[in-house]
Amino acid sequence: MAQSFDVCIRGAGIVGRTLALLLARERLRVALVDTEGAHAPSHSDVRAYAMNAASRAVLESVRSWPDPEHATAVLQMQVHGDQGGAVTFDAGRQQAEAMAWIVDVPALERQLADATRFQPLVEVVKEPAAAPLTVVCEGRASKSRAQWGVEFDVTPYGQTAIATRLRCERPHSQIARQWFTADGGILAFLPLEGAQGNSVAVVWSIPHDQARHWLQADGAAFALRLQEVSEDSLGSLELTAPRASWPLQHAQARRWCGAMPGAAAGQQWVLAGDAAHTVHPLAGQGLNLGLGDVTALARILGERASWRGVGDMRLLRQYERERKSALLPLGTTMDALQQLFARHESPLQALRNWGMRGFEMSGPLKEWVARQAMGMQPPARR
């Protein structure tokens, strides 16, 4: 007899597997679509994610948080402008264990793969299965979203993100560093390999024409250029991994839920993660937003009245409203910052660096922004 499912999840990446585990905890039967092992953990994957406290709590709840060597706590974040402006965020001032954790993608994928393998209510399948609810977690280039004619409003940034790994002469001291440069570039060094490590994950966002040059450049020349952009903060640098790249954009689907085209009545779809929205990586919030999506969706489905099915459109619209509301302030802020730092006019350069210095001295505003990015609630009033 063919297996019947409550939910089919298209996409077996980090967001899709996390959702599968959350739904299984709600006693729902899940088909997790992984076409040809496309999301099998890869040791050559150079990506790393900055994950906040809310994301850590979700992953710990499904027993998938990596060990400290692969989830490096960030004690401080330093942001540098192009004319002396600077902002520093410190975990100690927030009375927090860390500002964020830099998580190695292959290690996290292995943890999630193991967890789903031993979850009897999750079945990994090669093809989409019929279910009352299909959740699309296929990423920014979602084929399902495109096939169903869902409009995806995209604003290209004219930039390419280059990701790789570096070994540094000096230890990173658990500090995440970011530089905004006069040519519109944004360079981030994210600490790896635990508290004593001297390796960093790199995300360098630069105009397309520059990216073509630096993707083809000799490894030593590439590392030397990053040493210059990073103001020699970690000494000499050595490239230790291949370079990956992707174009940057701000995007959001106009509809996040609907009836399955051509399917039986009562079968619905909903979008989550990058299939629903993408933001600029300058604040490292992309995966945090995706995990926020699936946490909200699992909670709404788990709290539904017994007579409501998982594909009830009222529930799905509730999820859409909640997540669009959560996305709006962060997405708008990231878009505005990117546009501001992409401008080269001297008055704007001076203004934005003046703004950074003012923000550094802003007290409560700075702390509120820090706690929002950390996925923390405001401190209780006394």
Handedness of CA 310, 326, 247, 162 (dihedral sign): negative
Q: What is the DSSP string of 156-194?
A: EEEEEEEEEEEEESS--TTEEEEEE-TTS-EEEEEEESS
Q: DSSP of 261-290, one letter per residue?
A: TTSPTT-EEEE-GGGTEE--GGG--HHHHH
| CA 127, chain centre distance (Å) | 26
Q: What is the dihedral of CA 177, 178, 182, 185, to 10 degrees?
A: 130
Burial 98-111 (b: 16+ CB within 10 A, else e): bbbbbbbbbbbbbb
At residue 341, the pLDDT reads: 54
Please give the pLDDT value at position 45. Answer: 81
198 by DSSP, 3-state: which? coil
Give pLDDT, residue 151.
94
Give the Cβ contact number of residue 353 at 10 Å: 18
Query: In this predicted model, what pLDDT tens digit does every residue of 126-184 receive, in sequence order?
Result: 999 999 999 999 999 999 999 999 999 998 888 899 999 999 999 999 999 989 887 77
Res 77: pLDDT: 87
Amino acid at site 382 = R
CATH classification for the domain delimited by 7-155+248-373, as one of 3.40.630.10, 3.90.245.10, 3.40.630.40, 3.50.50.60: 3.50.50.60
The stretches in the chain having pLDDT less than 70 are 1-3, 36-44, 82-85, 94, 264-265, 281-284, 329-382
pTM of the model: 0.86
Q: Residue 225 is inside which H or E element, if any? A: helix 219-229
E strand residue ranges, the chain: 7-10, 30-33, 48-51, 71-74, 76-80, 86-90, 100-104, 122-125, 133-136, 152-168, 175-180, 186-192, 199-207, 237-239, 244-253, 257-259, 268-271, 277-278
Give the three-class secondary structure for 241. coil
